Structure 1
């Protein structure tokens, strides 16, 4: 039995699609075509610098615990930069972090770590 020339490419394409693994075909598992929802994580933090003093408030609106740290870089070369101890911010919790330089503050940032 010989396939016509117009039917042969269609047959080959269909055979290749049927041979694909089930996770390669996007609709093979009955998904609705939407990407999976992102895993929401991370406390929202606001920082305030007044002179040489730094205060940060971090609020965690998500269900996972976020371990936050305050990092302070001082402007003077002889002034010691500081990193706070890590603080676990549980769901629906607000924490206060504070630190200071002897003189001016150059930059401030918060680091986040997912607690397992």
Structure 2
């Protein structure tokens, strides 16, 4: 027990709190924006003619998400909802509907 405590205290305090990077890599702050992880994770639920998308953005970059609905009937107008910003660690709910059946629904992402 004493050896484990001694080893814990012997490690510099800032060494344990930083992520180790291999030679030739850079810190996350210096990674170009196009290579950083991006995009809210979304779950789409269709209930009859109603569609709801639940999205959560786990990343520090904001994601502008939009709900798109394709209706099954030829006379039923498809819908492209307005884009909503999902900020870092933010949950967003998007809703839409068709008059009758829903053929498909999806969420698009934009930086």
TM-score by length of 1: 0.67
The alpha carbon displacement at 1:32 in A equals: 2.8
Q: How far apart, CA to CA, are the structure 2 residues paired with 1:99 and 1:61?
A: 24
How many pairs does the alignment contain?
Answer: 84
Structure 2 residue ranges without an equivalent (≥5): 1-21
- 2:87 alignment partner, one of 84, 87, 90: 90
Partner of 2:23: 32
The question of 1:78 aligning with 2:69 is answered no
SS of match in other structure, 1:112: strand
Partner of 1:53: 50
Q: Of the two, which has the highest radius of gyration?
A: 1
The RMSD of aligned alpha carbons is: 1.9
